[in-house]
Structure 1
Amino acid sequence: MPNFKKKLSSLSLIWVAFIVLLFFFSFAIHNILILPSWLFLFYLSGKIFRIRREFKNNVSRWNNFLMIQEFIINNGLYKETSDVFLSAVFTISESENEIIITACKMGNFLDSKLEHLDLELSALFNLPLEEKIIRPVIVEYKFIIEPPERLVLKSSSKETIDDLEINLGYGVKYNPVTCPHILVAGGTGSGKSVFISFLILELLKRGSTIYIADPKNSDLGSLSYYLGDERVATNPNNIARIIRLAVTEMYERYSEMREKFKYGTNFNDHGYKTIWLIFDEMGAFLASGTDKNSKAVVNEVMDGIKQIILLGRQAGVFVLISAQQMSANTLNTDLRDNLGLRIALGQNSNEGYRMVFGSATPEPQPIEIKGSGFLFKQGAGKETAQYWESPFLDTHQFDFINELKLYIDKE
């Protein structure tokens, strides 16, 4: 560290002296020397800038080293005897956006402690934990320095989007081709309805056909006034009808695509738009199966949903399932794991998170912002669900129904 200071001070003095000399004696310098003089000045400025940056990085690393050293002592992550001294070993990697703390396991009594330092390390750096990865020999803690921006919904003129990718805000982009189907869990007041409403608009902008099943006949059910009863269903028999429509369209697409078969293509290559089945409050629908006839309807619907989840991707037929509380009775784990994007909004229990995320269950943390929770996207390179904030709707700036009317064809 002292060497950096000395080098930086020397170069800074040379730079200042050269500026003064160049200013006062420029009239006496031959024209042929003026350009080399300025070039040397630019070179010297760049050198000083690089040294300053390297000095700053070294100061940061030194401060982090002292923080970790004190952290080890304060948290008792060492053991000293007359024969041996054992201490936890950490490495720190820092970039513009995150800090990664790696705790090295040594096969001793400290290993179990190293796997449960979430709150302590978050407090040490005053940063939210983004992800924790436990390996046989290391534990990685990743902290966000600059959190992503939350998407704020604002009214706009009608727009048509060809790109299937949807910006969900907070650094997340979603494409059903690479990550088919969506699961959204969240209780009353969690922001689930706002998020689904946002998705409906984004899908309509892309020319998608939307079917809505709302067995509780709540907000989404009322959209039948705008989308029509043929697209929105609230009673079991009508829900079964729209499921049959979606499944039939899926198989018709497969039949037409086989006639124009080309290896490695999907619905998009054949000019089809996506079809989305949005099934709100699936738990309420399952509870409607109370007798032989109603149970037969429930079984038919669930069989159709299973077909869409397992076969719909290539044909461009997708499903979004929402529920206040997920359980094995709502959706079995095999089908759940085929839902590429899984979201749990609001505060939830450990068991609740496990039912949504399975092996990708995150370490629980307080959820204080409405519309926030955890999100897991298959193929994103994350091993566990990450903290996420859904798009924010300000009712003074955004009217969902007015926006919806822009994308409804009136014949």
Structure 2
Amino acid sequence: MLTSFNIGKVPINLRGQAGCEIVGRPGSGKSVLATFLMLKSMQLGAFPVLCDTKRSDFYNLGKLLDKRVGSNKKVASRVAATPDQVAGLLRTLVNLMNNRYEANNEFGKDWVDFNLRPIVLILDEYSATIAEAESSKKGKTAKEIENYMKQLVFKSRQMGGIFTVLCSQRLNSNVLDVNVSAEFSTRVAMENLDNVSLRLAFPQCDIDQLPYIDNTAGHGLIYSDSFDENNPIPFIAPDLSQVNVPKVASLLDSRNRVNSFRKEDYWPF
């Protein structure tokens, strides 16, 4: 089973990695990079799950993919558009992950050894989602989302097979726990960011010594656990301007409906 691809020269592996954290202001290119990660993951057979409380591109794409497979009340939708729906979708993924641990508990093996289908989870505008969730139900939904996020990020590497792509305009410890942020194997800062977000994205670095980045969409800094050093490097995100994303995603999703992954009776989608 192939589990890896590259962003330029930076390796991304769905196996053994919790995911990718992308931070950047509106228009900086973070959603384009997240889309690239999603499509490349789908090329490897990953099942896309999308959370977009802006109800924008990822929401529309998720509705399209749901429609193609005839989503109904008997199966879980793969798209969430409100904080309550995000909490529900993350709960579904946590339950799936726990079922995988219970059903496939042979020492030293992981989800690839058991030929389980990987999942790519896109969380767009995470900080805005948390802010909206905190404004209702006395913050209970926000705490629920944060709790499920911790479980997914800390536990999904071995048996979960869930690669999380978290996008946010800015980050601080009130939005995303420092320990959770550090678990992301790849961390990206798009364009020039405030020092608080940079420190959370690259806690091992002297912020004042980071390389200069052009304040241009698609330009940023990227760090991977695969690096020999602790410092991020400059990069330019892939250009998807000539890609018909809905068409490509629909084609990949349709192709992946027939696959050789192990059948899971507890599969919720």
What corresponds to 2:74 in structure 1? none
Q: Deviations over 1:356-402 (max 9, x none)?
A: 1111345241315431100010132122111111112232xx22122
Q: Quick one: distance in 1 between partners of 2:93 and 2:179? A: 21
Equivalent residue runs for 1:140-155 within 5 Å: none
Matched, 1:381 2:228: yes
Residues 179 and 379 in structure 1, CA contact (< 8 A), matched pair in contact too: no
Higher RCO, 1 or 2 (CA under 8 Å, sep at least 6)? 2
The TM-score with structure 1 as length reference comes to 0.56
Counterpart residue type for residue 192 of structure 2: Q
Q: Quick one: distance in 1 between partners of 2:111 and 2:121? A: 16
Q: Quick one: distance in 1 between partners of 2:38 and 2:213? A: 29
The one of 329, 343, 350 equivalent to 2:174 is 329
The one of 169, 177, 189 equivalent to 2:15 is 177
Unpaired runs of 5+ residues, structure 2, are: 72-76, 258-269
Counterpart residue type for residue 124 of structure 2: D
The one of 232, 238, 242 equivalent to 2:85 is 238
Deviation at 1:225, TM superposition (A): 2.7
Q: Quick one: distance in 1 between partners of 2:215 and 2:192? A: 8
What corresponds to 2:263 in structure 1? none
* Gap change, CA 1:294 and 1:182, over 3 Å in 2: farther
* 2:113 counterpart SS class: helix
Q: Quick one: distance in 2 between partners of 1:352 and 1:247? A: 27
What corresponds to 1:247 in structure 2? 94
Counterpart residue type for residue 167 of structure 1: N
The one of 12, 29, 45 equivalent to 1:207 is 45
What corresponds to 1:166 in structure 2? 5
Q: Deviations over 1:239-281 (max 9, x none)?
A: 11111110011001001112xx1x3210000010212221111
Structure number with higher helix proportion = 1
What corresponds to 2:24 in structure 1? 186
* Gap change, CA 1:289 and 1:393, over 3 Å in 2: closer
Q: Quick one: distance in 1 between partners of 2:82 and 2:195? A: 33
* 1:329 counterpart SS class: coil
Residues 17 and 163 in structure 2, CA contact (< 8 A), matched pair in contact too: no
What corresponds to 1:284 in structure 2? 128
- Structure 1 ranges of 4+ moved more than 6 A: none
Q: Quick one: distance in 2 between partners of 1:302 and 1:256? A: 26
The one of 353, 356, 372 equivalent to 2:201 is 356
Q: Quick one: distance in 2 between partners of 1:352 and 1:301? A: 20
* Gap change, CA 1:345 and 1:292, over 3 Å in 2: closer
Residues 127 and 168 in structure 2, CA contact (< 8 A), matched pair in contact too: yes
Percent identity over the alignment is: 25
Kindly report the root-mean-square deviation, in angstroms, between the aligned alpha carbons of the 2 structures: 1.9
Counterpart residue type for residue 184 of structure 1: I
Q: Quick one: distance in 1 between partners of 2:10 and 2:216? A: 18
What corresponds to 1:345 in structure 2? 190
Residues 24 and 30 in structure 2, CA contact (< 8 A), matched pair in contact too: yes
* Gap change, CA 1:326 and 1:403, over 3 Å in 2: same
Matched, 1:400 2:245: yes
The TM-score with structure 2 as length reference comes to 0.84
Higher Cα Rg, which structure: 1
Q: Quick one: distance in 1 between partners of 2:181 and 2:170? A: 13
Q: How many residues align?
A: 244
